[in-house]
């Protein structure tokens, strides 16, 4: 880490601010392309727009923008890292809310660009510290996933939050739209999937089910650990995504017991039960797929299974994250902008330029341990005061 008084860090100016009559822009060069990030001066609260200039042909392209963009603010500072993402720090916004990444050439963006046949960029919000990994719970229909999750949410309402999926299935009696599921039309969910709003989706028991990026982000933004109840296909997709999670498969003690539970629940027709039981065999076969699930839980006695689930969850990520204290100390509530960048860190300067109680004039953002990214959040941001 570089400290004040030592040799100045290498600083390449990759971002120039161009001000035209009504637009404030950053232009960031990557190879033959320039990524221009603009906001209107007349209406600085309007959303950020992205355009790409092909410097060889001098043509402009408006890319498909995935992910949730930053909240609108007056201006920002920006710098390129690893030739694949642009770090943007929103001015006038407390640090723990102001760090954003615009992914321009990451594996996710390249893959999406191939699928869509257009230029793609993707927003991802920076999260200081690791945060607890989301928990993916899969298992055949009727095994008791929902029952276990409901117990966990009841006992620890401020620790865990449920990722509310979208589904085209009809609501059951007592199911509430927006609480148990977002009930939706097939054409609507298909449109939103094609717009890149979903972390994963699958055709399950004759309906479409999917986890929107927003469903996961709204839980993690509340500072809670996100629980996803999704089928095995969905678990596979999340495994392949940039979301780092813990994957748990819940098994029944026997196939007969599974059938008994499904029938006793009384929510499906006979035809639907048969379909769910057929799919259950396939899901049970896949539970041993190499590298897919981290833990298998047998739900025989409910209370015993619940205790095992709790043990699994507290075993994981139980370490003290030094960034947590940084956030708790209130240092992340001051506003900063980018001062300089090296290959390994970005130096941030306090916007007020005064040392307020609990804040530092200069911070170092360590670039070595970033994880995740679009779709979702970029985690692992380590920040420390520069003395
Ligand atoms: N250990 C258990 N012993 C007996 N019954 C159980 C047990 N766990 C759950 N059940 C019951 O089994 C039925 C199915 O449970 P639940 O709805 O939680 O399953 P699920 O895995 O969430 O199903 P789906 O995937 O279809 O949503 C419910 O009626 C529930 O009360
Ligand atoms: N891939 C996904 N699977 C999901 C999602 N939400 C729920 N599910 C799975 O669907 C079945 C059936 O659920 P039910 O509520 O109709 O009984 C079950 O296995 C769930 O785990 C999702 O977003 N994606």
243-247, 323-327, 344-348, 360-364, range with the lowest pLDDT: 323-327
233 ligand 2 Cβ < 6 A: yes
Q: Which pLDDT tens digit goes with each residue over 194-209?
A: 888 899 999 999 999 9
Catalytic residue check, 265:
yes
Out of 236, 276, 377, 379, the active site residue is: 276
- In terms of C-beta density within 10 A (0-12 exposed, 13-18 middle, 19 or more buried), how is residue 72 classed? middle
CB 332 within 8 A of CB 95: yes
What percentage of residues in the chain have a pLDDT greater than 90?
A: 58
Q: Do 223 and 238 contact (CB within 8 A), yes or no? A: no
Residue 283 beta carbon below 6 angstroms from any ligand 2 atom: no
Phi, psi of 100, deg, nearest 5 = -130, 155
Sign of CA dihedral 308, 228, 163, 125: positive
The pTM assigned to this predicted structure is 0.78
Question: From atom 1 of ligand 1, which residue's Cα is the shortest distance away?
Answer: 302
Ligand 1 atom 9, closest CA: 144
d(CA 148, CA 223): 21
- Supply the DSSP symbol for 370: -
Mutate which of 261, 274, 287 to test ligand 1's pocket (most atoms within 8 Å of Cβ)? Answer: 261
Question: What domains are there in the chain, each with its CATH number?
Answer: 135-313 (3.40.50.300)
Name the DSSP class of 333.
G
Tokens of 28: 């960031």
Tell me which residue has its CA closest to atom 27 in ligand 1: 141
Q: What is the DSSP letter of 220?
A: H
* pLDDT band of 252, cuts 50, 70, 90: very high
* Residue 53 Cα distances to 77, 83, 87, 116, angstroms: 20, 16, 19, 19
Mention every residue, 6+ apart, whose C-beta is less than 8 A from residue 351.
91, 92, 334, 335, 336, 337
Q: Separation of 253 CA from ligand 1 center, angstroms?
A: 12
Q: What is the mean pLDDT of residues 282-292?
A: 93
Q: Say yes or no to pLDDT of 20 above 80.
A: no
Ligand nearest to the CA of 264: 1
Q: Does any ligand 2 atom lie closer than 6 A to the CB of residue 168?
A: no
- What is the C-alpha to C-alpha distance for residues 235 and 115, in angstroms, rounded to an integer? 21
Span between the terminal Cα atoms of the chain, in Å: 10
Give residue-wise pLDDT tens across range 153-164. Answer: 999 998 999 999
Distance in Å, CA 146 to ligand 1 centroid: 7
**Token pair listed for 177:** 């739209």
The residue whose C-alpha atom lies closest to atom 5 belonging to ligand 1 is: 261
For the stretch 330-341, pLDDT in tens is 666 788 899 999
Measure the CA–CA gap between 62 and 65, rounded to whole angstroms.
9
Closest Cα to atom 2 of ligand 2: 230
Contact 129, 379 (CB under 8 A): yes
Give SS3 for 93.
coil
Whole-number Å distance between alpha carbons of 249 and 50 = 41
* Angular region, 277: left φ>0, alpha ψ -120 to 50, beta rest: alpha
Active site residue 12: no
Measured CA to CA, the distance from residue 12 to residue 60 in angstroms comes to: 25
Q: 350 in ligand 2 pocket by Cβ < 6 Å?
A: no
Between 145-155 and 302-315, two packed helices, what is the crossing angle to 10 degrees?
60
Q: How many secondary structure helices (H) and strands (E) does the chain include? A: 10, 24
**Pair 283, 296: CB distance under 8 Å:** no
Which residue puts its alpha carbon closest to atom 14 of ligand 1?
A: 142
287: CB partners within 8 A, 6+ apart: 138, 139, 232, 249, 251, 293, 296
Asked whether 27 lines ligand 2 (CB < 6 A), one says no
Going from the Cα of 142 to the center of ligand 1, the distance in angstroms, rounded, reads 5
ipTM: 0.98
CA distance 142 to 257: 9
Residues 343 and 366: beta-carbon distance below 8 Å = no
Dist. CA 137 → ligand 1 center (Å): 13
pLDDT digits (tens, 9 = 90+) for 101-127: 999 999 889 988 988 899 999 999 898
Q: What is the pLDDT of residue 244?
A: 86
């Amino acid at each position: 880490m570089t400290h004040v008084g030592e040799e100045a860090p290498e600083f390449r100016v990759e971002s120039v601010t161009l001000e035209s009559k009504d637009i404030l822009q950053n232009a960031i060069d990557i190879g033959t392309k320039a990524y221009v990030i603009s906001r209107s001066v007349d209406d600085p609260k309007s959303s950020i727009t992205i355009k790409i200039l092909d410097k060889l042909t001098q043509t402009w392209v408006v890319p498909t923008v995935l992910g949730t963009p930053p909240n609108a603010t007056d201006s920002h500072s920006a710098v390129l890292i690893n030739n694949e993402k642009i770090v943007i720090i929103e001015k006038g916004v407390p640090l723990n809310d102001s760090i954003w990444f615009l992914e321009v050439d990451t594996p996710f963006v390249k893959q999406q660009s191939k699928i869509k046949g257009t230029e793609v960029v993707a927003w991802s919000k920076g999260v200081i510290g690791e945060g607890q990994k989301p928990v993916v719970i899969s298992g055949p229909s009727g095994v008791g996933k929902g029952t276990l999750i409901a117990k966990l949410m009841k006992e620890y309402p401020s620790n865990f939050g449920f990722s509310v999926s979208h589904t085209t299935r009809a609501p059951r009696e007592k199911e509430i739209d927006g609480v148990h599921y977002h009930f939706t039309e097939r054409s609507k969910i298909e449109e939103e999937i094609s717009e890149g709003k979903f972390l994963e989706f699958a055709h399950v028991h004759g309906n479409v089910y999917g986890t929107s990026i927003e469903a996961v982000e709204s839980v993690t933004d509340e500072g809670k650990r996100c629980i996803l109840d999704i089928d095995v296909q969905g678990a596979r997709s999340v495994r392949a995504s940039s979301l780092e999670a813990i994957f748990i498969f819940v098994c029944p003690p026997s196939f007969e017991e599974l059938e008994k539970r499904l029938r006793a629940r009384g929510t499906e027709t006979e035809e639907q039960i048969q379909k769910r039981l057929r799919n259950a065999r396939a899901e049970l076969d896949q539970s041993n797929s190499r590298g897919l699930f981290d833990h298998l839980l047998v739900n025989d006695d409910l209370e015993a299974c619940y205790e095992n689930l709790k043990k699994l969850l507290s075993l994981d990520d139980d370490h003290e994250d030094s960034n947590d204290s940084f956030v708790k100390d209130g240092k992340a509530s001051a506003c900063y902008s980018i001062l300089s960048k090296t290959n390994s860190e970005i130096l941030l300067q306090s916007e007020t330029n005064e040392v307020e109680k609990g804040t530092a004039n200069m911070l170092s953002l360590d670039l070595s341990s970033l994880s995740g990214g679009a779709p979702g959040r970029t985690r692992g941001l380590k920040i420390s005061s520069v003395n």
